[in-house]
Amino acid sequence: MENSQGKLYNLGNLEEISGGSNEFVNEMIKLFITQSENTITGFEQAIENKNYKVIRDLAHQIKPSIDNIKITSLMPVIREVEHLAEMENQSEDLSSKIMEVNTGLKNVIFQLQAELIERK
């Protein structure tokens, strides 16, 4: 779900805790991008190997970041991935949810990279 500017995220929380520091916000964006790229790669490998512990751990690690920059479209999905992985659910549902998260993260990464260019 996009906000009024067409963004899949909201940096309000980051801007609030930054104390007005653009440098802080930019660093947090870069950190999120790196974490997301690692999560995408990790999910792809873990689903291929049916490694539910890794899937659960990756979902658990990225969840607060998704919440913090308010990617509302992924908030319920990442929780579902974590839950399904905990249950070692081998259904197609887990696979499709991971694909949904990965696609969402790739779209947000694309938008955040553009945001970083605009913020300079």
- Let me know if residue 31 belongs to a domain: yes
* pLDDT band, residue 89 (cuts 50/70/90): low
Structural domain boundaries, residue 62: 12-119
Token pair for 71: 């990617």
At 33-78, the pLDDT tens digits run 999 999 999 999 999 999 999 999 999 999 999 999 999 999 999 9
Is 76 among the domain residues? yes
Total domains present in the chain:
1
- Which pTM was predicted? 0.92
Domain-located, residue 2: no
Confirm whether 7 is domain-assigned: no
User: 119, 25 in Cβ contact below 8 A?
Assistant: yes
Domain-embedded: residue 77:
yes
- For residue 23, give the CATH number of its domain: 1.20.120
**Residues 89, 84: Cα–Cα separation, whole Å:** 5
C-alpha to C-alpha distance for 26 and 34, rounded to whole angstroms: 12
